[in-house]
């Protein structure tokens, strides 16, 4: 993912060929992508491009190409099983939450599985990210499950780690997820909340593309700890230190919601099989599974 370019109010107004006063009106209406830092508004140039594209007038009979039947974004053990057991026919492309959202914006996947974090206990991070994407004006966000995330440790916790601070103090090697992965965002936000500079963290060699890869890094001895779900810890026989519960949401455009493959997946999520398998995995809360969290 390329680094985002941020424009000042003056630069954004010039880029959009608008008066600054008009741009402030759009900001006040929540109609244009922006953020406020130290009292000043900043505008993502890529977001402005997508905002303009979303408002394009299209010729009569012009049909957009449907996205491929792929679920991108975060890796989740229960979601993998749900896709397989439901027979929905959707494929999986687990690259991390932000990568999945980026692909959804570009219509390269039909559904993105997200668990983004602005703060450790931020239940609204997924929704905020969708609202910040003007081109996802037709997005639907369905809660897949809430799951428990924590610190994975070697079996029997030989280093006696009882928290992130202790892991850093004892020189534990942290397995890292890729930039934009929800687990990596969570780790950085937890360190920030604890007042621990991320630069003090000893990083294990390599990047772990999924939670399973992270667990393997710990099992093999390449790393001492890392952030992942309880279900991953249980599957790999690792010690687990619980930290937070988070939303795993399925995000799609409205047209994808009504596709037979999506409906088949959602139907399986409402079945007793989903609840039974979640119990086997451990670390899942299905109390609001299948509920609509956002319908733009």
Give the C-alpha separation, 272 to 286, whole Å.
11
What average pLDDT score do residues 3-17 get?
A: 88
Tell me the C-alpha distance between 143 and 139, whole Å.
Answer: 13
In CATH, the architecture of 149-245 is: 3-Layer(aba) Sandwich (3.40)
Among 151, 152, 177, smallest CA distance to 95 is for: 177
The tens digit of pLDDT for each residue in 267-292 reads 999 999 999 999 999 999 999 999 99
48-89 residue pLDDT tens: 887 786 666 556 555 567 899 999 999 999 999 999 999 999
pLDDT confidence of residue 4: 67
Cα gap 64→172, rounded to integer Å: 50
Residue range 6-53 forms a domain whose CATH class is mainly alpha
Does the pLDDT of residue 228 top 80, yes or no?
yes
Q: How far apart (Å, rounded) are the C-alpha atoms in residues 296 and 286?
A: 23
Predicted TM-score (pTM) of this structure: 0.77
Cα maximum dimension of the chain: 66
Fold of 70-145+248-295: D-Maltodextrin-Binding Protein; domain 2 (3.40.190)
Q: Average pLDDT for residues 7-35, to the nearest whole number? A: 90
pLDDT at 119: 83
Tens-place pLDDT, residues 127-147: 999 999 988 988 999 999 999
pLDDT at 49: 80
Question: Can you tell me the mean pLDDT for 177-196?
Answer: 91
* CA 241 from centroid of its chain's CA atoms: 21
Alpha carbon distance 118, 125 (integer Å): 6
Q: Is residue 33 very low, low, confident or very high in pLDDT (cuts 50, 70, 90)?
A: confident
CA Rg value for the chain: 21
Question: Pick from 279, 263, 164, 290: which is nearest to 231 by CA?
Answer: 279
Tell me whether the CATH fold assigned to 70-145+248-295 matches the one assigned to 149-245.
Answer: yes
Question: How do the domains of the chain map onto residue ranges?
Answer: 6-53, 70-145+248-295, 149-245
């Amino acid at each position: 993912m390329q680094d985002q370019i941020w424009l000042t109010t003056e630069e954004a107004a010039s880029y959009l060929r608008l008066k600054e006063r008009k741009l402030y009106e759009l900001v006040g209406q929540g109609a244009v992508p922006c953020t406020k830092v130290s009292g000043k508004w900043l505008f993502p140039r890529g977001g402005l491009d997508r905002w303009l594209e979303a408002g394009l007038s299209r010729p009569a009979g012009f049909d957009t190409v449907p996205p491929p039947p792929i679920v991108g974004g975060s890796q989740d053990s229960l979601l993998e099983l749900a896709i397989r057991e439901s027979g929905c026919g959707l494929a999986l492309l687990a690259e991390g939450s932000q990568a999945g959202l980026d692909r959804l914006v570009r219509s390269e996947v039909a559904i993105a599985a997200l668990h983004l974090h602005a703060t450790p206990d931020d239940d609204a991070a997924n929704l905020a990210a969708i609202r910040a994407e003007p081109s996802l004006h037709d997005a639907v966000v369905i809660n897949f499950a809430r799951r428990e995330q924590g610190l994975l440790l070697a079996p029997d916790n030989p280093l006696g780690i009882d928290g992130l601070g202790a892991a850093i103090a004892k020189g534990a090697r942290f397995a890292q997820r890729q930039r934009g992965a929800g687990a990596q965002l969570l780790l950085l936000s937890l360190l920030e909340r604890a007042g621990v500079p991320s630069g003090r963290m000893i990083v294990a060699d390599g990047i772990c593309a999924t939670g399973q890869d992270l667990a393997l890094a710990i099992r093999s001895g390449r790393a001492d700890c890392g952030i992942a779900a309880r279900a991953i810890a249980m599957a790999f026989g690792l010690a687990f230190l619980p930290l937070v519960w988070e939303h795993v949401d399925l995000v799609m455009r409205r047209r994808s919601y009504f596709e037979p493959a999506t409906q088949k997946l959602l139907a399986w999520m409402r079945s007793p099989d989903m609840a039974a398998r979640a119990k086997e995995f451990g670390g899942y809360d299905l109390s609001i599974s299948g509920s609509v969290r956002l319908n733009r």
